């Protein structure tokens, strides 16, 4: 009881159009400490070319794990070596990497936790526009956000812990420089644990906001489908009411009010 009296004022925050929560429910706040969030940012910054690594992982996803996604990303006719050059696929790789950059910066640098939460939920919602996901997400228990992000848990984290060498690390001159940046100030196990929790929050938030948005849009669609006959009934009722009122006014006017002489004004032209 005491706890509820002493609890700090809960600040209401609008999280996207379809969901309202407050700051104390922000999973990036409740699920990660300040130190964890700094670790996310520091370790992400170790990757000199995050897009390159995200690209390699997405190539495996569409070629080896979920070939159904090839068509979605417009690479069903492209050889593997050309896929990253295709606009939709290459664009998605870039946006995915940018999202990780933005999120880790908001969490570990500017400390805009509300912004990070809103961004992840907005990303989940925006995927309802993708017809493939609108139709297939979580049908037959297949959660595509879960599938994709779990591959990232397995494939991206070893780069972040420093256990796996960055691509092209043996390139002339580059190798030495990259090794210097990988001076360990976090234990690999800690980095692994923090990133896993971060990715799990992403899965949960994207899945939830996607589901809410899809339900909202399907509901709006069925309302639209119902609307035509509802509109006819409504306008008939309105018309009848107006007619009743009109005749009431006319009746009262003709019986109570003295008839006014109609005035004529001179035509100004
Ligand atoms: C667009 C991230 C999964 C298909 C985007 C964008 C981001 C993003 C940031 C651009 C901005 C926006 O629309 O919100 C992610 C993340 C995922 C994910 C973090 C985590 C799993 C998927 C999956 C599909 C997909 C599973 C497969 C159907 C697309 C498509 C676009 C898009 C087709 C539009 C690309 C374009 O037209 O340029 N995604 N995405 N995404 N996403 Fe994803």
Average pLDDT of the residues in 58-68: 97
Q: Distance, CA 74 to ligand 1 centroid (Å)?
A: 13
Question: Predicted confidence band at 156 (pLDDT cuts at 50, 70, 90)?
Answer: very high
- The beta strand positions in the chain, using DSSP E, are 12-14, 20-22
Q: Distance, CA 238 to ligand 1 centroid (Å)?
A: 46
Closest ligand 1 atom to residue 147 Cα is 21
Q: By C-alpha distance, which of 64, 60, 90, 65 is closest to 75? A: 90
Average pLDDT of the residues in 174-203: 80
pLDDT at 56 > cutoff 50: yes
**Using CA atoms, how far apart are residues 263 and 19, in angstroms rounded to an integer?**
61
Choice from 95, 137, 153, 209 to test ligand 1 binding pocket (greatest atom count within 8 A of CB): 95
CA-closest residue to ligand 1 atom 37: 88
Note whether 102 and 45 are within 8 A (CB).
no
**Using CA atoms, how far apart are residues 126 and 93, in angstroms rounded to an integer?**
16
Most confident of 177-181, 225-229, 241-245, 256-260: 241-245
pLDDT in tens, 73-94: 999 999 999 999 999 999 999 9
Q: Distance, CA 203 to ligand 1 centroid (Å)?
A: 13
**Using CA atoms, how far apart are residues 153 and 192, in angstroms rounded to an integer?**
8
Instruction: Quote the ipTM score.
Output: 0.95
Q: Distance, CA 218 to ligand 1 centroid (Å)?
A: 20
Closest ligand 1 atom to residue 144 Cα is 26
| pLDDT greater at residue 181 or residue 186 | 186
Note whether 114 and 13 are within 8 A (CB).
yes
One DSSP character per residue, 219-257 reads HHHHHHHHHHHHHHHHHHHHHHHHHHHHHHHHHHHHHHS
pLDDT at 185: 86
Longest pairwise C-alpha distance within the chain = 104
Q: By C-alpha distance, which of 127, 122, 110, 116 is closest to 27? A: 116
Structure tokens at 257: 């009010």
pLDDT at 6 > cutoff 60: no
Structure tokens at 101: 């950059």
Note whether 19 and 121 are within 8 A (CB).
yes
CATH class of 27-224: mainly alpha
**Using CA atoms, how far apart are residues 16 and 36, in angstroms rounded to an integer?**
25
**Using CA atoms, how far apart are residues 83 and 88, in angstroms rounded to an integer?**
9
Name the 3-class secondary structure at 213: helix
Average pLDDT of the residues in 86-109: 98
Question: Predicted confidence band at 259 (pLDDT cuts at 50, 70, 90)?
Answer: very low
Closest ligand 1 atom to residue 132 Cα is 28
CA-closest residue to ligand 1 atom 17: 145
Q: How close are the terminal C-alpha atoms of the chain, in Å?
A: 82
pLDDT in tens, 226-243: 766 666 677 778 888 888
Q: Exposure string (b/e) for 241-261, b if CB count within 10 Å is 16 or more?
A: eeeeeeeeeeeeeeeeeeeee
Q: Distance, CA 92 to ligand 1 centroid (Å)?
A: 6
Q: Domains of the chain: which residue ranges?
A: 27-224
What lines the ligand 1 site, CB under 6 Å? 69, 72, 88, 91-92, 95-96, 99, 123, 126-127, 130, 132-133, 144-145, 148-149
């Amino acid at each position: 009881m005491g706890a509820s009296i002493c609890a700090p004022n809960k600040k209401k925050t609008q999280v996207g159009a379809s969901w309202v929560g407050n700051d104390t429910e922000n999973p990036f706040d409740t699920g990660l400490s300040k130190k964890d969030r700094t670790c996310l940012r520091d370790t992400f910054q170790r990757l000199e070319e995050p897009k390159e690594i995200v690209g390699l992982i997405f190539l495996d996803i569409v070629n080896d794990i979920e070939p159904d996604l090839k068509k979605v990303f417009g690479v069903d006719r492209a050889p593997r070596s050309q896929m990253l050059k295709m606009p939709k696929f290459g664009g998605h790789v870039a946006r995915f990497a940018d999202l990780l950059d933005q999120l880790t910066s908001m969490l570990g640098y500017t400390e805009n936790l509300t912004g990070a939460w809103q961004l992840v939920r907005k990303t989940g919602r925006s995927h309802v526009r993708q017809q493939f996901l609108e139709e297939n997400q979580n049908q037959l228990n297949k959660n595509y956000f879960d599938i994709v992000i779990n591959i990232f848990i397995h494939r991206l984290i070893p780069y972040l812990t420093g256990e796996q060498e960055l691509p092209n690390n043996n390139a002339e001159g580059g190798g030495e420089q990259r090794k210097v940046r990988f001076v360990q100030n976090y234990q690999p196990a800690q980095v692994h644990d923090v990133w896993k929790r971060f990715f799990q929050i992403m899965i949960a938030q994207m899945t939830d906001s996607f589901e809410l948005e899809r339900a909202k849009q399907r509901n709006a669609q069925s309302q639209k489908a119902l609307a035509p006959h509802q509109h006819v009934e409504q306008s008939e009722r309105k018309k009848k009411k107006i007619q009743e009122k009109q005749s009431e006014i006319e009746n009262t006017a003709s019986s109570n009010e003295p008839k006014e002489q109609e005035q004529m004004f001179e035509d100004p032209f």
